[in-house]
Amino acid sequence: MSFLASVGCGVARVFSKTEEPKLDEVWLYDYLLSHEEIKKHLKFGSFHVIDFHMEYDKGLENPLFPQFNTSSARMFNTDTNTTTGVMKLGDVETGSIVTINFKTMPYSANQFSYSDPFLVYDMTAEVNNNGNIEVFHLIKSEDVLGTKKIFVPLF
């Protein structure tokens, strides 16, 4: 019985790392449209996605997450399960192009269960409106990581 449980955990771990990472786009759009500066450049119903790319970060060497420096975390993980992504949005009404750069981490509100989608811990927005470029730091990593901890899978 324990053999089957071990095999089941191994198979689940392999499948969880083979699918593409995803971001809750509804949350992202709501967040952007509620930000005072960004909503001047993105109007509900008139913006569209131009480009989207998100991938897992490689390796365990991330100074923001010392939790992966333990021997048990290194034994069960080959990376930190964090992601880096970019989304480019264009707005028809304002003529603006907004590039969102974000970083996510696995997060669990409960110590023992993993939650998906990932928690965004760092986000910047670069707004290009007719050649006038502005950069906004929407979510700062030091603010998020001061209150929330990364979920480290140990199975």
Contact 89, 102 (CB under 8 A): no
User: pLDDT tens across 19-73, in order?
Assistant: 667 788 888 899 999 999 998 999 888 899 999 998 887 776 777 766 766 666 6
How crowded is residue 32: how many other Cβ atoms within 10 Å of its Cβ? Answer: 20
Q: Bridge-partner residues for 55, per DSSP?
A: 84
Helix (H, G, I), strand (E, B) or coil at 18: helix
Contact 75, 124 (CB under 8 A): no
Query: Domain residues of the chain, as ranges?
Result: 21-145
The answer to whether residue 93 scores a pLDDT higher than 70 is yes
CATH number of 21-145: 3.10.450
The answer to whether residue 150 scores a pLDDT higher than 60 is yes
Separation of alpha carbons 71 and 67, rounded Å: 10
Separation of alpha carbons 129 and 89, rounded Å: 12
Determine the distance from the C-alpha atom of residue 128 to the mean position of all C-alpha atoms in its chain, rounded to a whole number.
23
Contact 127, 40 (CB under 8 A): no
- Omega cis (within 30) before 117: yes
* Alpha-carbon torsion, ordered 143, 25, 81, 115, to 10 deg: 80
And the tokens for 91? 């707005």
pLDDT confidence of residue 21: 74
